[in-house]
Amino acid sequence: MAATTPQGRLQGKNAIITGAGGGIGLETSILFAREGANVLMADVSEPALAKALAKVKEVVPTALRVESIRCDVSKESDVQAMVESQDSWGGTDVIFNNAGIMHANDADAIDTPEKIWDLTHNINVKGVWFGSKHAVLSLRRHKKARGSIINTASVVALVGAATPQLAYTASKGAVLAMTRELAIVHAREGFRFNALCPAPLNTPLLQDWLGDDQAKRFRREVHFPTGRFGEPIEQAHAVVFLASDESSFVNGTDFVVDGGMTKAY
């Protein structure tokens, strides 16, 4: 589970990571910096972002360029400003549209409040659309022959959750469908789109949602052949692969990183 020896897989690439203030986004920022990328870390929370940026600089002192920008991915003007701020770096090569929420009041069809549905979809779905849109515009503006866009979906886009979170599940299904279509539409421009599908993993998002509810935890954990949730770094390694040229023929996938969870019965 530890980080592997860096091999310069992302050398010279300019990358943007949203939701970089914690969890998967922070671990991915660290691995991207280790692999030689120039990294722009983005998050809606300024305190989380400041702490995360300091962490990356501390653990990767050799990082070439790591900066941060506050961005609410549900606001197109923020996303546009974030992507355009990399114009002076030579344009964006990779964007990891990772920011997402799973609200504590997200429940089943009966009990999910409409405002939680809208909030979830504004961040999880519109955020990915805006990030994808401005990535394509930037790649074209800078006449890039290739680009990699990775959008975070979830295993709940593939299998139904017995502990309901309807707004979240529907939002991740939308991310998967959107990513597939983007992959087909932009393939001949050299722009690849893949959806990362993590299973539950140990990040603040999951811990906050589980709280102290042991029954809820058990309902989730029991599905894992590995007997444990995943760790953010295990997702981050997959994202490095999808961002790198090693995955040049990987396009439009539902890239499942789940310890076998979705294959278990």
Residue closer to ligand NAD, measured from CB, 75 or 140: 75
List the one residue out of 98, 93, 95, 86 whose CA is nearest residue 22: 98
Identify which range of 16-24, 58-66, 159-167, 237-245 contacts ligand NAD by CB under 6 A.
Answer: 16-24
* Position 18 contacts ligand NAD (CB under 6 A): yes
Identify which range of 6-14, 40-48, 108-116, 187-195 contacts ligand NAD by CB under 6 A.
Answer: 40-48
| Placement of tokens 């999880």 in the chain | 124
- Binding to ligand NAD, residues 98-137 (CB under 6 A): 98-102, 123
Ranges of H-type helices in 142-230: 166-186, 204-210, 214-221
Query: Which residue out of 32, 96, 168, 229 is catalytically annotated?
Result: 168
* Position 22 contacts ligand NAD (CB under 6 A): yes
Q: Is 168 a catalytic residue?
A: yes
Strand partners, 94: 15, 148
DSSP state of 101: -
* Position 25 contacts ligand NAD (CB under 6 A): yes
Distance, first Cα to last Cα, the chain: 25
- Binding to ligand NAD, residues 62-81 (CB under 6 A): 71-74
Cα-trace Rg, the chain: 17
In the list 40, 139, 178, 201, the residue contacting ligand NAD (rule: CB under 6 A) is 201
Q: Say how far apart CA 261 and CA 225 lie, in whole Å.
A: 6
* Ramachandran region, residue 174 (left: φ > 0; alpha: ψ -120 to 50; beta: rest): alpha
In the list 91, 131, 147, 198, the residue contacting ligand NAD (rule: CB under 6 A) is 198
Query: Quick check: 256 and 262 in contact, CB under 8 A?
Result: yes
Query: What residue ranges bind ligand NAD (CB under 6 A)?
Result: 18-19, 21-25, 43-45, 48, 71-74, 98-102, 123, 152, 154, 198, 200-201, 203-206
Which residues carry out catalysis? 168
